[in-house]
Amino acid sequence: MSGLGGLNKSAHGVVVGLVQLQLPSVKTPADLAAQTQRICEMVGKARRNQSTMDLVVFPEYALHGLSMDMNPEIMCTLDGPEVAAFKNACIAHRIWGCFSIMEANPGGNPYNSGLIIDDQGAIRLYYRKLHPWVPVEPWEPGNLGIPVCDGPNGSRLSLIICHDGMFPEMAREAAYKGADIILRTAGYTAPIRHAWKITNQANAFCNLAYTASVCLSGSDGSFDSMGEGMFCNFDGTVLAEGGGRADEIITAELRPDLVREARTGWGVENNIYQLYHRGYVAVKGGAQDCPYTYMHDMAAGTYSLPWSAEVKVTDGTSCGFAAPERTYEGTTQ
């Protein structure tokens, strides 16, 4: 169900717009200010485009482009002018927004961060990308976990960023915390097209959740992003999807109430419940254990693949980054 892209909004519907934003080139503070203004103008376009829209979602790298530039002069902070402008745009146009920033980090490399801001200008969700796209991306690994927030019209929202969505554990964690709409923002280019689609569908089906995912679009003269915003139903089918046209806004009405109905009412393929209640036909309540070796090993700090010693790419030197000397310090902000 997409309600003709949200044109026919139901009482329980949440209308989401995915902006296939033109890939920018941002090198200077002036470029950053101009791109900030452009994103704010696109918030206005989203509102004019559809009066029923509740949430407008911008891709990863919407503000900074794909250069991987860590220049401190173009890094952002939560209390900086860029985030303030996004807050004001959400207030002015009476809409929720999801935005991407490269966040200054005094203790190391910048974070690749995402924000969900409500229609009153309050930050409702703040996330740092857990899985930078190594070896290409230099960003510090996120340390805020996978947050979930209350969203418009009774929804529960989470945000994962680009490469995060290739790990089934990410969407599972979001759903485990109650998310019924999982946003995925990205800057992916065409070689990832097939993996993008199947993981968006699998993340939805395996967790009985909607997925709403969008990439940048167009070229900056060096890179070509693919656009291809897509909504997946909680049964894994595609509700709506876009092509590669830059600045197109793909829309759909999502129904969190139907997600809740499926999660409590489905017997067959209620996978997120059955993970911990396997074989409940045979044994009361199912086997409530953890039979997965990798989970035990991660928790114990002993995760090791049978081929770990043979893995050839283990830092960013192949992409021009110096091998790091710091070790990860955990959840310190």
3-class DSSP assignment, residue 256: helix
3-class DSSP assignment, residue 95: coil
What distance in Å separates the CA atoms of residue 305 and residue 7, rounded to the nearest whole number? 49
What distance in Å separates the CA atoms of residue 41 and residue 61, rounded to the nearest whole number? 17
Contact 161, 185 (CB under 8 A): yes
Contact 236, 271 (CB under 8 A): no
What distance in Å separates the CA atoms of residue 23 and residue 61, rounded to the nearest whole number? 8
Contact 234, 202 (CB under 8 A): no
- Distance between first and last Cα of the chain: 41
What residues have CB less than 8 Å from 135, skipping those under 6 apart? 313, 315, 316, 317, 318, 319, 321
What distance in Å separates the CA atoms of residue 137 and residue 296, rounded to the nearest whole number? 29
Phi, psi of 44 (to 5 degrees): -65, -40
Residues serving a catalytic function are 60, 129, 162
